[in-house]
Amino acid sequence: MTWFKPRDLLDRTFEISIIAKGLDGLLELVGGVLLLAVSPSTINHLIVAITQHELSEDPHDLIATRLLHFGAGLTGSAVRFAAAYLLVHGIVKVVLVVALLRNKLWAYPCLIVTLIIFIGYQLYRIALTPTAWLIFLTIFDAFVVWLTWREWRKQRPRPAHASRQ
Share of the chain above pLDDT 70, in %: 96
- Residue 25 within any structural domain of the chain: yes
Count of structural domains, the chain: 1
Average of per-residue pLDDT values in the chain: 89
- Residue 2 within any structural domain of the chain: no
Over the stretch 134-153, which tens digit does the pLDDT of each residue have?
999 999 999 999 999 999 99
Lowest-pLDDT range of 23-32, 35-44, 117-126: 35-44
- Residue 165 within any structural domain of the chain: no
Q: How far is CA 114 from CA 40, 54, 92, 119, 142, in A?
A: 30, 38, 8, 9, 11
Q: How far is CA 32 from CA 36, 47, 81, 113, 146, in A?
A: 6, 17, 10, 23, 29
**Containing structural domain, residue 142:** 9-155
pTM of the model: 0.74
- Residue 58 within any structural domain of the chain: yes
- Residue 123 within any structural domain of the chain: yes
pLDDT over 90 at 79, yes or no = no
- Residue 163 within any structural domain of the chain: no
- Residue 62 within any structural domain of the chain: yes
pLDDT over 90 at 156, yes or no = no
- Residue 1 within any structural domain of the chain: no
Over the stretch 10-27, which tens digit does the pLDDT of each residue have?
889 999 999 999 999 999
